[in-house]
Amino acid sequence: MNKLLVICGPTTTGKTSLGIRLAKKFGGEIISADSRQVYREMDIGTGKDITGGVWRTIRRRKKEESQGYWEVEGVPIHLLDVVEPSKDFSVKHYYDLAWSKIRGLWQKRKLPLLVGGSGFYIKNVIDGVDTREIPRNPELRTKIGDWFPQKLFDCLAKLDSEKAASMNRSDRNNPYRLVRAIEVAIFKKENPSWRPPKQPKSDSLFIGLKAPRKILYQRIDKRVDQRLAQGVEEEVRRLLEKSYTWQRSALGDTMGYQEWRPFFDGEETKEKVIELWKNAEHDYARRQMTWFGRDKRIHWFDITKEGWQDEVEIRVKNWYHQENGQES
């Protein structure tokens, strides 16, 4: 069976750096699993500083490719810079692009490395998400798009009580997830014969990177400071000057950008923006660990432990050269 390596975990744990090392070692290419780095022109705030803040010097985007191609230290990284910030980009879009790349790499006898911290994207690619083929309902979204989370949740509970009961606190307060759940529930009621498509299979190895929470927060704060030094404020200003808006683009719901809105509206200081941004990143890291912590397939490595990279490499080597349950 074709091999697929997954490198996941919370933000700032060095997933891309590890991916580059392993891609070099095993002849692979990286497919980014980051739901925000798909957007063009949103570079500094989303962390496309793959080699320590010099992303401008290492980007090699092929003009003929619409699916976003970078090259770092000779290793191709796909699915960066895929879409304009004002355009819609769903998990189905990502799924289709990711599997197109995976199949292409298998045909070239290359190892695909799915690398990133967007757990829902990764789950969608590996396990499939039944609802990805269910289309969006623009009319419904216009009607309920400004409802408060509690009203959305009450609506969902009437439509699909089982789905509503399965939601955690974060889900219940997330209007985007609630609107999508309502959308799906209505579609299924209107199309009772609908069945999800069959999911492609692969031999997948999951590598997870983690660190003690205190260390993680320190790394996050340092990275936010680095992005400030790189000029994220000017990047946000430039995007706004290009007529991207908080309401109708990825700016309004992307960390590193949405926190700047009160500053540009003249309602908050830059110091407050930085505080809000760092706290949001801390919260996100906790949610990532909760999400990935549920997946028992992940082999975890603590990046604060000496020699962890070598341990990862040994595990990947044993898996990569394994055929039919026998190690070579």
CATH number at residue 27: 3.40.50.300
Tell me, yes or no, whether 212 and 287 share the same domain: yes
Does position 324 have pLDDT exceeding 70, yes or no?
A: no
Tell me, yes or no, whether 179 and 202 share the same domain: no
Tell me, yes or no, whether 159 and 181 share the same domain: yes
Tell me, yes or no, whether 77 and 207 share the same domain: yes
Q: How many residues does the chain have?
A: 328
Tell me, yes or no, whether 46 and 164 share the same domain: no
Q: How many domains does the chain have?
A: 2
Tell me, yes or no, whether 109 and 219 share the same domain: yes
Tell me, yes or no, whether 103 and 240 share the same domain: yes
Does position 246 have pLDDT exceeding 70, yes or no?
A: yes
Instruction: Identify the residue with better confidence: 64 or 276.
Output: 276
In this prediction, residue 132 carries a pLDDT of: 73
Tell me, yes or no, whether 169 and 204 share the same domain: no
Tell me, yes or no, whether 229 and 297 share the same domain: yes
Which residues span the domain enclosing 183?
135-190
Dump pLDDT digits (tens) for 29-57. Answer: 999 999 999 999 999 999 886 544 334 43
Does position 285 have pLDDT exceeding 60, yes or no?
A: yes
Which segment of 77-86, 132-141, 193-202 scores lowest on mean pLDDT? Answer: 193-202
Dump pLDDT digits (tens) for 168-192. Answer: 776 788 888 899 999 999 999 999 9
Q: How far apart are CA 263 and CA 162, in angstroms?
A: 41
DSSP 8-class letter at 221: H
Tell me, yes or no, whether 65 and 181 share the same domain: no
Tell me, yes or no, whether 146 and 253 share the same domain: no
User: Which tokens belong to 293?
Assistant: 């912590």
Q: How far apart are CA 218 and CA 224, in angstroms?
A: 10
Q: Tell me the pTM.
A: 0.83
The residue among 190, 209, 226 that closes a domain is: 190
Q: Round the average pLDDT of the chain to a whole number and report it.
A: 89
The residue among 155, 190, 225 that closes a domain is: 190
CB 155 within 8 A of CB 182: yes
Q: Which ranges in the chain belong to alpha helices (H)?
A: 15-26, 55-58, 91-107, 119-126, 138-144, 149-159, 161-166, 169-172, 175-190, 213-230, 232-241, 261-264, 270-293, 308-320
